[in-house]
Amino acid sequence: MLISQPNSKILFFSTLYELLKPLFVGVKKFNALPDPENPHFPADQEFSGLHPQWRQRLRSDRPTPSTEELLSGILAGDRVALGRAITLIESQRPDQRESARQLVEACLPQAGRSIRIGITGSPGVGKSTFIEAFGLYLLQQGRKVAVLAVDPSSRSSKGSILGDKTRMEELGRHSDAFVRPSPAGDSLGGVAQKTREAIYLCEAAGYDAILVETVGVGQSETAVHSMVDFFLLLLLPGAGDELQGIKRGIVEMADLLVVNKTDGDRVEAARQTQRAYRNALHLFPAKESGQPVQVLTCSALQPSGMAEVWKNVVDFQQSVTASGYFEERRRQQAAFWLEESIQRQLREWFDRHPEVRTAWPEVRQKVAQGEWSSFKGAAYLLDLFKQ
């Protein structure tokens, strides 16, 4: 009845428009985000400093820019170019592999001048909250901070950085910070390799503090340990490591232990945990770095203790640079990733080989039914591959 009158009709639609306007604006804003996969990316004003022509070309609604354009953008410290470049290296498309490889190679001479810090700890210990607080502290120290993650499960998993956007909001908004959600992927090796390449790109873009969060459980700690200069393990107050689900191997890998959540009524429990770990560390073998492992306390939420953690990192870096271990560790890591990359590539070729693929189900069945031994099955498939 009401909208049958022409005037009422206009009134109705204009009211409807007013009500829905914020939604349109929101959608428009979202579309303007340079990289829709990264909720932390700033809007277009962050293209500032770039030539207008590149600015236009780097927008996400344009086709993938050329390797040269991406490289120039990265070297100019442009976050949008960096984001798009990481999307390129994460791409599963075989036709983009070569450009991705060229881009990483081209960035390598500019990479390496940063401190790479891995952050691990059981789920819920406060890794993301810590990274936000610590990252903000580093920004105050004049550092440029990039945050990456190794999450072998999936992009949508509960723990991924993407789900942490509210927690890292402040850091992600800062013009000297870059927060990247975990790459998608099903194999830890593949995901870790991409994170490692992303480190180089971030360094070439001028980020001099790289924080890598391990989000998965199990092997992802080892993968992150093999790409960072300093490995930090966060602990919860009051619980022994069996209770925290931390394997002894992870404690052995750590260069620093930090009891997080030292706030409220958990302060005493945190001190106890600190003492317990200090005592326990005496029983561990000496570190290859030659540096003693300390146990500190902090609260990522308050925040407090960030300066002490950073001092520990800086002292460590100075000592191991002087002793030569810093470079030695990076060389060892490069050798490790050489092996990794070859193994992964060979496996990929093997899995894709047409005859292997055809024979695979039957061979698997024969082995499962005990008709063939696993050795015979493997030899048969490998022969097909070699031919």
Ligand X SMILES: Nc1nc2c(ncn2[C@@H]2O[C@H](COP(=O)(O)OP(=O)(O)OP(=O)(O)O)[C@@H](O)[C@H]2O)c(=O)[nH]1
How many Cα atoms within 13 Å fall on the side-chain side of residue 263?
A: 11
> Rounded CA gap, 324 and 195, in Å?
25
> Rounded CA gap, 355 and 386, in Å?
11
Residues whose CB falls within 8 Å of the CB of residue 349, separated by 6 or more in sequence, listed in order: 385
Residue found by looking up tokens 């975990």 in the block: 182
Residue 128 as a binder of Mg ion (CB under 5 A): the answer is: yes
Of 27-35, 122-130, 228-236, 239-247: span binding Mg ion (CB under 5 A): 122-130
Binding site partner of 129, from ligand X, Mg ion, none, Cβ cut-off 5-8 A by kind = ligand X
> Rounded CA gap, 144 and 174, in Å?
10
Q: Which of 34, 261, 325, 356 binds ligand X (CB under 6 A)?
A: 261
Residue 149 as a binder of ligand X (CB under 6 A): the answer is: no
Residue 182 as a binder of ligand X (CB under 6 A): the answer is: no
Tokens of 16: 């409807």
Residue 125 or 205 having the CB closest to ligand X: 125
Smallest distance from ligand X to CB 244, Å: 11
- Which residue, 234, 354, 205, is CA-closest to 300? 234
Binding site partner of 125, from Mg ion, ligand X, none, Cβ cut-off 5-8 A by kind = ligand X
Length of the chain: 387
Q: Which residues of 62-72 are buried (b: 16+ CB within 10 A; e: fewer)?
A: eebbebebbbb
Binding site partner of 126, from ligand X, Mg ion, none, Cβ cut-off 5-8 A by kind = ligand X
Binding site partner of 153, from ligand X, Mg ion, none, Cβ cut-off 5-8 A by kind = none
Residue found by looking up tokens 């610590």 in the block: 134
CB distance 153 to 216 below 8 Å: yes
> Rounded CA gap, 359 and 383, in Å?
11
Determine the longest span between alpha carbons in the chain, in angstroms.
86
CB distance 202 to 107 below 8 Å: no
- Strands in 145-150's sheet, in edge-to-edge order, are 177-179, 145-150, 209-214, 115-120, 230-235, 256-259, 294-297
Torsional sign, CA 317, 320, 325, 327: positive
Residue found by looking up tokens 């050795």 in the block: 375
Residue 261 as a binder of Mg ion (CB under 5 A): the answer is: no
Residue 75 or 267 having the CB closest to ligand X: 267
Give, as ranges, the residues between 272 and 301 that touch ligand X (CB under 6 A).
299-301
DSSP 45: G
Q: Which of 11, 16, 113, 124 binds ligand X (CB under 6 A)?
A: 124
Residue 88 as a binder of ligand X (CB under 6 A): the answer is: no
Q: Which of 34, 118, 159, 216 binds ligand X (CB under 6 A)?
A: 159
Residue 100 or 300 having the CB closest to ligand X: 300
Residue 218 as a binder of ligand X (CB under 6 A): the answer is: no
Give, as ranges, the residues between 12 and 71 that touch ligand X (CB under 6 A).
none
Of 29-37, 126-134, 136-144, 272-280: span binding ligand X (CB under 6 A): 126-134
Residue 137 or 350 having the CB closest to Mg ion: 137
Q: Which of 40, 55, 127, 194 binds Mg ion (CB under 5 A)?
A: 127
Residue 38 or 128 having the CB closest to Mg ion: 128
In the shown chain, the binding pattern of residues 226 to 255 toward ligand X, with x for contact by CB under 6 A and - for none, equals ------------------------------
Smallest distance from ligand X to CB 318, Å: 28
> Rounded CA gap, 231 and 251, in Å?
10
Smallest distance from Mg ion to CB 153, Å: 12
> What does the binding site for Mg ion look like in residue numbers (CB under 5 A)?
127-128
What is the contact surface with ligand X in residues (CB under 6 A)? 121, 123-129, 159, 167, 215, 260-261, 263-264, 299-301
